[in-house]
Structure 1
Amino acid sequence: MDWLYIVYRECVALLSQGGFVLWGILLIGAWMYTIILSTWLALRPVEEAIRGSRRELTDLKSSEYIQREYTIFELDQLAWIGRRLPVIGVMVGICTLGGLLGTVSGMLVTFTKMASSSYGDPMEKIAAGISEAMITTQAGLLFALPAAFAYAMLVVRVRRVHSLLEQHLSVDLKNLSMKGIGNA
Structure 2
Amino acid sequence: MQDSLYKVWKECWAVIEHGGVVLWAILAVGVLLYAMLCATWMVLVQQQRRIKQESIADVVSENRREIVRDFAVFELDQLAWLDRRMPVIGVMIGVCTLGGLLGTVSGMLVTFSGLASQAAIDPIEKISVGISEAMITTQAGLLFAIPAALIFAIIRSQVQAVHQLLERQLHSTLANHYSKEKMA
TM-score, shorter chain, exceeding 0.5? yes
State the 1:128 CA deviation: 0.4
Total equivalences in the alignment:
181
Contact 1:60 1:176 in 2 (8 A): no
Which position in structure 2 is the counterpart of 1:53?
Answer: 55
Q: How does 1:147-158 map to 2 (within 5 A)?
A: 147-158=148-159
**Cα distance in 2, alignment partners of residues 97 and 33 from structure 1:** 17
1:144 aligns with 2:145: yes
- Relative distance call for 1:143 and 1:25 in structure 2 (3 A) is same
Determine the C-alpha separation between the residues in 2 that align with 1:18 and 1:64.
59
Q: Following superposition, which runs of at least 4 residues in structure 1 exceed 4 angstroms of deviation?
A: none
Aligned-pair CA distance for 1:178: 0.5
Shift in alpha-carbon separation, 1:6–1:138, aligned structure 2, 3 A: same
Are the equivalent residues in 2 in contact too, given 1:60–1:172 (CA < 8 A)?
no
Q: CA separation in 1, counterparts of 2:57 and 2:116?
A: 75
Letter of the structure 2 residue corresponding to residue 26 of structure 1: L
| TM-score computed with the length of structure 2 as normaliser | 0.93
Superposed, 1:154-173 pairs within 5 Å as: 154-173=155-174
Map 1:1-184 to 2 at 5 A: 1-51=2-52, 52-53=54-55, 55=57, 60-180=61-181
Mapped partners of 1:17, 1:93: distance in 2: 23
Which structure 1 residue ranges, 5 or more long, are not aligned?
none
Looking at structure 2, the residues matched to 79 and 36 of structure 1 have their Cα atoms a distance apart, in angstroms, of: 16
Q: CA RMSD in A?
A: 1.7
Residues 104 and 133 of structure 2 are in contact (CA less than 8 Å); yes or no, is this contact kept in structure 1? yes
Q: Tell me the distance in 2 between the aligned counterparts of 1:103 and 1:45.
A: 40
Deviations 1:115-169 (A, max 9, x none): 2334433322210000000000000000000000000000110011001000100
Local SS of the residue matching 2:157: helix
Tell me, which stretches of 5 or more residues in structure 2 are unaligned? none
Q: When the two structures are superposed, what TM-score results if normalisation uses the length of structure 1?
A: 0.93
Q: Are the structure 2 counterparts of residues 136 and 11 from structure 1 closer, same or farther at C-alpha, using a change threshold of 3 Å?
A: same
Q: Which has the higher contact order (CA 8 A, sep 6+)?
A: 1
Amino acid at match of 2:57: R
| CA distance in structure 2 between the aligned counterparts of 1:60 and 1:12, rounded to whole angstroms | 61
Q: Separation in 1 of the partners of 2:19 and 2:3?
A: 24
Calculate percent identity across the aligned residue pairs.
Answer: 52
